[in-house]
Structure 1
Amino acid sequence: MDILNRRTECFVLWAPLSDASLDPPFLIIGSTNGNSGGFAQTARVPLVLAQDKDHLWLLDPATISPPLADGVYHYWFEVQDTSPEKRGTILVTDPLSFTVDYSVTRESNDSEILQPASVIKFRDGKLWPCDIDGTEPQKVAVPAQSGLPSNNHLVIYELPTSRAKVGNDNRGVDVDVGTFADVLALFDTQSPGSHFSGVSAVHDEAILSSLGINALELLPAADAKTKGEWGYATANYFAPDADLGSSSDLSLLVEKIHNQNIRLLTDVVMAFGHDPYGLISFDEFHIRPDQERDNPDSYQSHATGVLRDGYGGKSWRYIRMIPSYNPETGDGSALVHPSWAFHRLHLTRWMNDFGVGGLRLDSVNNIGNWDFVRSYKERAWELYNARYGGSADPSKFIVVGEELSMPISMVQGGVLNALWNEPWQGRLRASLLGESVGTDPFEWTIRKLVNCKLDDLGGANFTDGAQAVNYITSHDIEGYRKERLYNFIVSNGIYDVEKRAKLAFSLLLTSVGIPMIFAGEEFADQMDRSVDLGKKQTDPVNYSRKNDGGWRQELFGFVANLVKFRTACPALGEDDTDFFHVDQSRGGKIMAWRRGQIGEGKFPVVVVANFSDEDTPGPTYVVPNWPDQDKPGWREVSQQRHVPPEWVGREPLLQWEAKVYTRWQAQGESAK
């Protein structure tokens, strides 16, 4: 990436503008005043337009007077505001800054012009990315492919990083802003975290290592302007969120999870932004959909005539191409999509520096441009493949899109690898109440829940389980039946939360598709603040609930057992599914199905579930047509017990219970 390479030699600003009359940008540079947050400006120097490089402004640090001494510097670019507000001369953060410092900023009541200082180190005549304290972060080492999980054996843990803890400070105020260090404490007993010293369940344990997940999805980890909470207001796309910690903190976290063969997935927001280009080159990078109704770029992709929604940010402009310097290739004057180039640039930063092993693209419908999404996905794969010298395993990298209208053609056409499977959540919630969905009878609600490939998505279907990400709950709690599982169960008048939660996880972790667990659901965390279904998840995760000494602790162990089974059992990495028993005498509410293939050397998984308020009567319940019933070694996974041959296919079921059976054993596991 040409422009990223240039940043080691010069201060660089790519500012494509149709208005050539605007003044050249200036560099405002100085240093901080210890811990006081003060800023002492040392120079204001104009940048110079690069020769034969349209719209590329450069400044050799050797030309700055007085000369820069080796050390850490804070800086902005001074530009003329090109946004619709036209505020005149304004200071902006470097759009390519790897570190930003909100303690050194130009305060404003207008959040759109809150521009933190960019941070850089000058050393040996060159510019070096660094943390605020001057540490030069190391790139994450490339993990061995052999240890990484394939997509069809992923269990994703979706974590809103800055919502990683609950507690009280000495003023009685909620302390719920976690950091990368706090996330590390969920994986490493030797890392207490920065805010977790009072939470024994985290300080003394490694909860997520115990849970057994093998993919960590951080909700937007790039810097956002919102403070004290996570959110989708991405402002500085190259920098880790200043609330969460430094590049070095994030690199350490990724190194630690890679050592446990856990992949890092990141959430990326490219439908809208709060970025400096909204001030530097507004019309080249952003669009006002309501003012350009004749422009197809103004409309969402999922519904005819629906304008794109910036949710308080500025919608990125994707259709326009302009003649300009190409920051990717270095061509001096070429036709360039400014937004395409910008997003592929920060993708390069995250892939190369932080070892990203998968991406979730937020609000694909609001991006509105499938050509760009395809380009971004293909560039992500190129970068991943290059990591392994061109011989990367495609089953160990994934780009997932969130588009709730479920346009499966995006997957079939190669625009994305997978979609969030939002209908799965609706079926799961209905099944926990014994209800069917739509016109389907209850039996088919369960069949489509267990095998998402049966779901008709506008005349097309998923063709592979790795194309669908299933979830009980996500950070998107807006709307009917989308709140946390605990709150959903209780709000429906059910007080045995443990039983329904266990059923939910039995289904999630044995169904076709990639299971995703929203942080805290593994022990049925609940929403302590008022439930506002018009907002995303705002409650902090209360990890102290995990060790309640009661049913939540039992639920965590139950889920952890099934997670480890899901990540390792070959049959659950296959899509083969066969419903071989539906008990019509009980209204079809008791069913049995097989996951995985049968035959010599095959070890299928059998699930038997009771979706009714009644236990099966008597000491036995016979399930006919049980596969491989006469073969030895059957065990019930969720309770971790051996099943005697005479009881295979004959065990009773409690109400709202699922049992998971297999003959497969993990390597090194002995038969009981």
Structure 2
Amino acid sequence: MDPLNIFTQRHERFLLWVPQADSSAIPPPVLVIGTTSGTPPVFNEIGQYPLVHSNDKVGLWVLEPSAISPTLKEGVYRYWFKIQDTSPENRGPILVADPLSFTVDYSVARSIGDNARYQPASVIKYRADRLWACDLNGAESQPPPLPDQATLPSNNHLVIYELPTSWAKVGDDSRGSDVDVGTFADVLALFDRAAGGDRFASIAAVHQDAILTELGINALELLPAADAKAKGEWGYATAHYFAPDYDLGSASELRSLVETINAQGVRLFTDVVMAFGHDSYSYIDFPNFHLRPTMERDNPDSYQSHAEGQLRDGYGGNSWRYIRSAHAYDPETGAGNSTVHPAWTFHRLHLARWMADFGVNGLRLDSVNNIGNYDFVRSYKERAWELYNARYGGSADASKFLVIGEELSMPVSMVHHGILNALWNEPWQGRLRAVILGESANNDNFEWTVRKLVDCTLDDLDGTHFTDGAQAVNYITSHDIEGYRKERLYNFLKSNGIWDVEQRAKLAFALLLTSVGIPMIFAGEEFADQMDRSVDMGKKQSDPVNYSRKNDGGWRQGLFGYVAGLVKFRTKCPALGEDDTEFFHVDRSRGGKILAWRRGQTGDGRSPVIVVANFSNENTPGTEYVVPNWPDKDKSGWREVSQNRNVPTEWVAREPLLAWEAKVYTRWRE
């Protein structure tokens, strides 16, 4: 299979894939093409040219550049397709962006209908009698260099950083801060001191530091980086799946970011939205690509998985139609008349684009239950693995790629059946937030709340459980702040009357970074960022990340250093890449609120990690606290990681604990 068949053809001609049952019965799509000039840019139309139906490829409309008169000169062009609206609204002839656009330009957007929906222009370059994908300025981006697999982290040593693009700057806004959208150049500045940033160059922590290099994370998850309908904020309203988001920057800038982070041993994860879309196919060929569940209640494609009788939600867009096939040209294989699933094929195509052109090393699939079709999800996951393996000539390291799904009903059986590789472990967040308040959760007593927190393989979910730490993504906070106890950690602690946020936050991160599972840090939590503009629990994280707090010269700066030390330990210590866990001490005399456990195996030269944690308001009395049954107690070389200090042999298993303190010990040294 040539995953780029249709991309190869796009060098030769303008084309539009419309796999309708009888494409010849629809009005021919019309190419509307021109150039731009001036500031702000003005569209200068060259002309409108009907596409013709391909003779040997059913459902494919094409136009040779040579058919355009006057003859195209070498340069950059903007264009739309004029089509007959096929959506339920049936607005008549409208202009839409090319659904396969690699770059879109909102500066010359055209409105659709009376509801002010805008379709940006598609961008293409004409050079040497061929068509080339390019940035707005005509630059032709190339894929980043292929990193040596040995330099990239394995799944069981990942620490993922989940990054939205709504950041904050100090300003005159009545709510306390100005919000701007960070660009790929701003993200680059978080990894490279020599990169000053773009819109956030005025923030010292961005301009002068390399925050994420200092933090030591080894996987960057960009919340949807594909172009979204919403302007001036990040979101899940993906509209142009093949194009980097217009607000974030160009393909060339994204490529530079990927090259920089790969050189630092950091993997790129992308967040993908496939339950619903705001894409051009909502107008071009609605019946084959989309549905409105409320209008098709007898269609099983209208319902969510794991939610009996609950309709899929388009969140202002249109649900993708997955139970639908057509006999048409197959853009993946190039076959002229095949049985294809239009929506399946479309998503697999943009997957190939991101895998090939931006070196993606992991995927997070949003709202898997709202996709509602696990056959498709499996197909998408398997295609991702095929593309990853092909990247390294069929010898790719299986521990260096991952497809993660978000489904909060926790159907772990999806992992065991090969539909996904891993799941967001949403119950972990609830347990974490309970134990740092000294509470139990999920009908367990306190001891078992901690046990299941530390070792997610103990948690019985949908009749089964995780069998490997690389199957579960644990987090203190995520962009999903809707609901009870989901807000940023700082706000959660303050709302529960906790005055010493630093101490509880350190405990939370010690647990996150030493537990079985893949730890994920939501941007800003590493210095306990707080919500300035909104604490609306009915919305996703819209409050921006305020990186200026990172260097406050006080407890936040201290917290960042503490977290950074544990992050680097988590990414490198062999014991924390193993699942083996043993609780060897529960202090019943203190209500079971002091516990000690081992991570990693002992013997054969192995060095485990020992965690001792005090989940109470009281310091341990006196100058020592004895922990019995400490593995390898009499061996020398113990150190306490969070404070980066050596522990004399005579003090091993005897050190006191402060209230709400966790200490992390090991004999391992890098």
Q: TM-score, normalised by structure 2?
A: 0.98
Match for residue 14 of structure 1 among 2, 17, 36: 17
Aligned partners of 1:565 and 1:370: how far apart in 2? Answer: 37
Q: Does 1:539 align with 2:543?
A: yes
Given that 1:225 and 1:235 are in contact with CA atoms closer than 8 Å, whether structure 2 keeps it comes out as: yes
Aligned residues of 1:360 and 1:399 also touching (Cα < 8 A): yes
Kindly indicate whether the alpha-carbon contact (under 8 Å) linking 1:164 and 1:183 is maintained by their aligned counterparts in 2: no
Q: Is 1:74 aligned with 2:78? A: yes
Q: Is the 8 A contact 1:80 1:280 kept in 2?
A: yes
Aligned equivalent of 1:228: 232
Give the match for residue 295 of structure 1: 299
- 2:33 and 2:462 map into 1 onto residues whose CA distance is 56
Match of 1:488 in 2: 492
Distance in 2 (CA, whole Å) between partners of 1:324 and 1:109 is 30
Counterparts of 1:383 and 1:108, CA distance in 2? 36
Q: Report Cα offsets for 1:411-449 as digits up to 9, x if no partner.
A: 000000000000000000000111001221000000000
Range 42-51 or range 74-83, more displaced? 42-51
**SS at 1:366's partner residue?**
helix
Structure 1: where are the runs of 5+ without partners?
Answer: 667-672
Query: Is 1:255 aligned with 2:276?
Result: no
Query: 1:48 deviation in Å?
Result: 1.0
Deviation at 1:167, TM superposition (A): 3.0
Say whether the 8 Å CA contact 1:583–1:590 is kept in structure 2.
Answer: yes
Q: Which position in structure 2 is the counterpart of 1:502?
A: 506
Is 1:373 the counterpart of 2:377? The answer is yes
Q: 1:566 aligns with which of 570, 581, 597?
A: 570
Alignment CA distance shift 1:624-1:635 (3 Å) = same
Residue number in structure 2 paired with 1:245: 249
TM-superposed CA distance for 1:163, in Å, is: 1.4
Partner residue, 1:550: 554
2:55 corresponds to 1:51: yes
Q: Distance in 1 between matches of 2:144 and 2:626?
A: 54
Would the alpha carbon gap of residues 173 and 662 (structure 1) be closer, same or farther in structure 2, given more than 3 Å must change?
A: closer
Match for residue 340 of structure 1? 344
Deviation at 1:530, TM superposition (A): 2.5
Q: Which amino acid aligns with 2:188?
A: L
CA drift of 1:170 comes to 10
Q: Is the 8 A contact 2:166 2:179 kept in 1?
A: no
- The aligned counterpart of 2:662 is 658
* 1:93-116 deviation line (CA, Å, top 9, x unaligned): 000000000001113575674110
Query: Could you tell me how far 1:175 is from its partner in structure 2?
Result: 3.6
Q: Superposition pairs for residues 479-628 of structure 1, below 5 Å?
A: 479-628=483-632
- Whole-angstrom CA distance in 1 between matches of 2:506 and 2:161: 17
Partner of 2:97: 93
Specify the SS of the correspondent of 1:251. helix
User: CA offset at residue 217 of structure 1?
Assistant: 0.1
Give the letter aligned to residue 167 of structure 1. V
2:451 is the counterpart of 1:442 = no
State whether structure 2 residue 224 is matched by structure 1 residue 216. Answer: no
Question: Is 1:364 aligned to residue 383 of structure 2?
Answer: no
CA contact (8 A) 1:211 1:563 kept: yes
Contact 2:171 2:177 in 1 (8 A): yes
Return the offset for 1:169: 7.7
Conserved in 2, the CA contact under 8 Å of 1:224 and 1:235? yes
Residue matched to 2:276 = 272
- For 2:179 and 2:578, the matched residues in 1 are separated by 43
The Cα of 1:209 is off from its aligned counterpart by 0.1
Detail structure 1 runs of 4+ shifted over 6 Å in the superposition: 169-173
For this pair of structures, how many residues does the alignment match? 665
Structure 1 residues 266 and 462: CA distance shift in structure 2, 3 A? same
User: Take 1:176 and 1:588, find their aligned partners in 2: how far apart are those partners?
Assistant: 47
Secondary structure at the aligned position of 2:45 is classed as strand
Where does 1:453-472 land on structure 2 (aligned, <5 Å)? 453-472=457-476
Question: How many angstroms apart in 1 are the aligned matches of 2:179 and 2:43?
Answer: 29
Per-residue deviation, 1:208: 0.2
Alignment of 1:126-165 (within 5 A): 126-160=130-164, 162-165=165-168
2:38 is matched with 34
Q: 2:627 & 2:425 partners in 1: Cα distance?
A: 31
1:414 has 2:415 as partner: no
Is residue 33–residue 77 contact of structure 2 (8 Å, CA) maintained in 1? Answer: yes
Distance 1:163 1:18 in 2: 43
Give the secondary-structure state (helix, strand or coil) at the position aligned to 2:461. coil
Cα deviations by residue, 1:123-173 (Å, 9 ceiling, x for unpaired) = 00000100001111111111110000000000000001x213433389997
Report the CA distance shift for 1:112/1:271 in structure 2 as closer, same or farther (over 3 A): farther
Match of 1:329 among 321, 328, 333: 333
Partner secondary structure for residue 164 of structure 1:
strand
Aligned-residue Cα RMSD (Å) equals 1.2
Rounded to whole Å, the distance in 1 between the matches of 2:228 and 2:201 is: 26
Alpha-carbon shift at residue 36 of structure 1 (Å) = 2.4
For residue 6 of structure 1, report the CA deviation from its aligned partner: 0.4
Q: Name 1:166's counterpart in structure 2.
A: 169
* Contact 1:420–1:468 (CA under 8 A) maintained in structure 2: yes
Name 1:281's counterpart in structure 2: 285
Deviation at 1:62, TM superposition (A): 1.4
**For residue 145 of structure 1, what is the amino acid of its counterpart?**
Q
The residue identity in structure 2 corresponding to 1:353 is D
Shift of 1:296: 0.8
SS class of match (1:489): helix
- Aligned 8 A contact 1:112 1:274 in 2: no
What pairs up with 1:630-669 in 2 under 5 angstroms?
A: 630-666=634-670
Q: CA deviation at 1:291?
A: 1.3
**Contact 2:227/2:241, CA 8 A, preserved across alignment:** yes
Q: Percent identity?
A: 72
**Do structure 1's residue 307 and structure 2's residue 303 form an aligned pair?**
no
- SS of residue paired to 1:114: strand
Distance 1:170 1:472 in 2: 29
Conserved 8 A contact 1:164-1:182:
no
Judging changes above 3 Å, is the alpha-carbon distance between structure 1 residues 290 and 19 closer, same or farther for their aligned structure 2 residues? farther
Equivalent residue, structure 1, for 2:182: 178
Q: Quote the Cα distance in structure 2 between the aligned partners of 1:498 and 1:150.
A: 31
Report how far residue 322 of structure 1 moved. 1.1
Amino acid at match of 2:7: L
**In 2: Cα distance, 1:604 partner to 1:327 partner:** 52
TM, length-normalised to structure 1 = 0.98
Residue-by-residue CA offset, 1:8-41 (whole Å, 9 max, x unaligned) = 1111100122354321001000000133221010
Which amino acid letter does the alignment assign opposite residue 303 of structure 1?
A
1:56-75 deviation digits (Å, cap 9, x = unpaired): 01111112110000000000
Contact 1:167 1:176 in 2 (8 A): no
Question: Is contact 2:413-2:462 (8 Å) kept?
Answer: no
How far is 1:52 from its partner?
1.6
Q: Aligned to 1:365, what secondary structure does the other structure show?
A: helix
Answer yes or no: is the 8 Å Cα contact 1:166–1:541 preserved in 2: no
CA distance in 2 between counterparts of 1:187 and 1:448 reads 34
Q: Which whole-Å CA distance do the structure 1 matches of 2:197 and 2:257 have between them? A: 11
Q: Give 5+ residue unaligned stretches, structure 2.
A: none
Mean alpha-carbon deviation: is it higher for 191-200 or for 263-272?
191-200
What corresponds to 1:25 in structure 2? 29
1:669 corresponds to = none
